[in-house]
Amino acid sequence: MSYLVLARKWRPQSFADLIGQEHVSRTLANAIASGRVHHAFLFTGARGVGKTSAARILAKALNCETGPTADPCQQCPSCREITSGQGGDVFEIDGASNTGVDDVRELRENIRYLPSRSRFKLFIIDEVHMLSINAFNALLKTLEEPPAHAKFIFATTEPHKIPVTILSRCQRFDFRKISLPRMIARLKEIVDAEGIRISERSLALVARRGEGSMRDALSTLDQVIAFCGEEAADADVQGLLGMVDRRLLLETAEGVLGRDSRRVLEVVRRVDELGHSFRSFAQELVETFRALMLIKVLADPGDLLDVAAEEAHDLKGLVQAPALEDLQRIQTVLMRTEGELAASPNPRLTLEMGLVRVANLPPARELSALVRKLEALEERLATASSPGAGSHAVPSPPAPPPLSAPPPGREVPSKKGEASASSGGWQGLVEHVRGKRPLIASLLERGSLLALDLPKLEIGFGSGSFHLEQIRDAETLQTLQALAEGYFGGPVEIRITQVDARSEGRPLTLLEERQVQESDRKRRLREDALAHPMVRSVLEIFDGKVKEVRPIDKGYV
């Protein structure tokens, strides 16, 4: 007698057997009980979650000799034929190999005839999204006005590929992935019935390999039984499946939360020796800390927690000390590390650096502690603003030297190269020119005063500069001379000289003088701000740094 694999032997035979799909079972059972059974159904969901099994159960429920009933007898000829896949009035069609319009036309011809001995003819089309557009179009009319004796059940893993004209004519049921605890419980029932001795920890590994698919989990269980026989040791299951030992993950979590860098590095060494993928280990570690966060924030995580009961108990013992903010920060770093491992030329080093980083994260400050420090800061601020606390006031920075000139006609004796002695008259001239000819004033700001000994006025500009060429323009010089004579009240001889802009002995231009003054002012403002007691208190409380100091008298916010 040929061996029947577990996935077929333990295939659900009633709505009660469809674990994890209670929303589908209840709706279909109510529809049958009330006589409101639709003519077309669409079952969608991941592989191995019970779509085709649910279709067969619905077929038995509708054609059972004791029905229609939500609880088929499993004993009548119709139930037995459907269970064995040989129902004369139940047609299971593979959409992947019957994609053409001719196949659908043949199906339409078959629909016209009454069932041979059942109440309904049922057409189960698996992977229906594989049908061609022409095949779907040929099916439309039949779906819109089907004969009373025909029912359609479509199953697919990719509902987005089905035309909306088909979707609108079907009742859609979305099958969910089966949670890990539900899958472990079901696997436990099966191994007990089969006489297989295997621990819950190993069953959790088998269930996790299924990734929400009961069929995949049962196929994995078949593989374990073939390798281990009737008694499966944890080490054998671990080695066969090549999955990360959950104890390694728990030990890593303990090391991270205990801020033990040596321990987490030792775990990485063992992961390397066992030959596990570093990225797979990081992914499992991310899931472990996800479980820790769920336990931290939820009194009863329920199906959200995809771990075995024994592991959940171990995890609950780890979440007492760390704050939720710490777990979130650790999770963020681990997710970033997992992404970096995909392209890392040295994955072991990348994983070690990530784990050492999370093991040495400073603990998040409690909100209550921050509030207390803020209250203390408010008290200190109130004290600083009270009478007699003038020593804490920020000294006002000295105002920059005025750019206004002395009254017209005032002469400031000076020698060539000693511009500082005549800077007042020079600044006054520039401001006077700015009021009449702003463009010429902007040129003068970029020139160095070399001499002001009336009637002589010598101005230097950088060799080959744009401003030198502009100021030498005959019309510009004529206008400047007229403005200068009007300002000083007498004749003025203007001389334009080329100077080396990089020369250290060159007098500063007015523009350069303002830049120096502004820079010096900002430096004094920063020193005054950093020395202020209130600023020091804020930096101490929040462990912060001053990035920039802006003068509020210039419109900054």
What's the CATH code of the domain at 237? 1.10.8.60
The per-residue pLDDT for 101 is 80
User: Looking at per-residue confidence, does 38 or 379 come out higher?
Assistant: 38
**H-helix or E-strand containing 448?**
strand 448-453
* Pair (124, 190) in one structural domain: no
* Mean pLDDT within 257-271: 90
Q: What's the CA gap between 18 and 366, in Å, rounded? A: 47
393 falls in which pLDDT band (50, 70, 90)? very low
* Pair (24, 146) in one structural domain: yes
* Mean pLDDT within 501-519: 81
Q: Is the pLDDT of residue 420 over 90?
A: no
Tell me which of 343, 359, 375 is where a domain ends. Answer: 359
CA nearest 452: which of 497, 493, 406? 493
Q: Which amino acid does the sequence have at 337?
A: T
Ordered DSSP codes for 138-182 = HHHHHHHS--TTEEEEEEES-GGGS-HHHHTTSEEEEPPPPPHHH
* Pair (64, 91) in one structural domain: yes
Q: In degrees rounded to 5, what are phi and psi of residue 495?
A: -125, 125
Q: Which amino acid does the sequence have at 39?
A: H
Identify whether 298 is part of a domain. yes
The per-residue pLDDT for 388 is 53
* Pair (61, 114) in one structural domain: yes
CA nearest 538: which of 378, 331, 303, 306? 378
The per-residue pLDDT for 384 is 63
Q: Which residues contact 334 (CB under 8 A, 6 or more apart)?
A: 282, 285, 286, 289, 354, 358
* Pair (354, 429) in one structural domain: no
Residue 528, CA atoms < 13 Å, CB-side half-sphere:
17
CATH of the domain at 294: 1.20.272.10
Identify whether 333 is part of a domain. yes
Percent of the chain with pLDDT over 70: 89
Q: Is the pLDDT of residue 43 over 90?
A: yes
Least confident of 40-49, 162-171, 403-412, 419-428: 403-412
Q: Is the pLDDT of residue 370 over 70?
A: no
557 falls in which pLDDT band (50, 70, 90)? very low
The per-residue pLDDT for 369 is 65
Residue 140 · residue 170 · CB < 8 Å:
no
411 falls in which pLDDT band (50, 70, 90)? very low
Tell me which of 121, 144, 174 is where a domain ends. Answer: 174
Q: Which residues contact 9 (CB under 8 A, 6 or more apart)?
A: none
Identify whether 329 is part of a domain. yes
* Mean pLDDT within 531-542: 74
Q: What's the CA gap between 343 and 347, in Å, rounded? A: 8
Identify whether 396 is part of a domain. no
Q: Specify the 3-state DSSP secondary structure of 503.
A: coil
Q: What's the CA gap between 363 and 488, in Å, rounded? A: 71
The per-residue pLDDT for 86 is 81
* Pair (45, 163) in one structural domain: yes
Identify the domain containing residue 307 by its residue range. 255-359
Identify whether 430 is part of a domain. yes
The per-residue pLDDT for 217 is 92
Q: What's the CA gap between 103 and 249, in Å, rounded? A: 53
Tens of pLDDT, residues 376-389:
777 777 776 555 54
Dihedral of alpha carbons 306, 308, 309, 313, sign: negative
Residue 394 · residue 532 · CB < 8 Å:
yes
Identify whether 1 is part of a domain. no
The per-residue pLDDT for 51 is 92
Ordered DSSP codes for 459-475 = EEEETT-HHHHHHT-HH
Using the structure block, give the residue that is written with the tokens 């019957």: 98
Residue 307 · residue 204 · CB < 8 Å:
yes
The per-residue pLDDT for 404 is 39
DSSP 349: H
Least confident of 253-262, 515-524, 531-540: 531-540
* Mean pLDDT within 423-431: 84
Tens of pLDDT, residues 449-493:
988 888 899 999 888 788 888 888 888 888 998 999 999 988 999
Q: Specify the 3-state DSSP secondary structure of 197.
A: strand
The per-residue pLDDT for 406 is 45
Q: Which residues contact 507 (CB under 8 A, 6 or more apart)?
A: 417, 419, 420, 448, 449, 450, 460
The per-residue pLDDT for 173 is 94
Task: Count the domains in the chain.
Answer: 4
The per-residue pLDDT for 268 is 92
* Pair (28, 99) in one structural domain: yes
Dihedral of alpha carbons 348, 352, 353, 354, sign: positive
The per-residue pLDDT for 554 is 52
The per-residue pLDDT for 146 is 86
Parallel/antiparallel/unpaired status of strands 90-94 and 197-198: unpaired
Numbers of helices and strands, H then E, in the chain = 24, 10
Q: Which residues contact 430 (CB under 8 A, 6 or more apart)?
A: 403, 441, 444, 445, 510
Q: In degrees rounded to 5, what are phi and psi of residue 174?
A: -95, 115
Q: Is the pLDDT of residue 401 over 70?
A: no
The per-residue pLDDT for 248 is 86
CATH of the domain at 505: 3.30.300.180
* Pair (320, 266) in one structural domain: yes
* Mean pLDDT within 68-78: 89
Tell me which of 241, 269, 286 is where a domain ends. Answer: 241
* Pair (264, 236) in one structural domain: no
Ordered DSSP codes for 47-98 = TTSSHHHHHHHHHHHHH-TT-S-SS--S-SHHHHHHHTT--TTEEEEETTT-
Identify whether 42 is part of a domain. yes
Q: Is the pLDDT of residue 508 over 60?
A: yes
* Pair (152, 40) in one structural domain: yes
Q: What mean pLDDT value characterizes the chain?
A: 82
The per-residue pLDDT for 368 is 55
* Mean pLDDT within 432-444: 88
Q: Is the pLDDT of residue 439 over 70?
A: yes
* Pair (283, 167) in one structural domain: no
* Pair (121, 237) in one structural domain: no
Identify whether 306 is part of a domain. yes
Dihedral of alpha carbons 550, 554, 556, 557, sign: positive
366 falls in which pLDDT band (50, 70, 90)? low
The per-residue pLDDT for 354 is 92
Tens of pLDDT, residues 246-258:
788 888 999 998 8
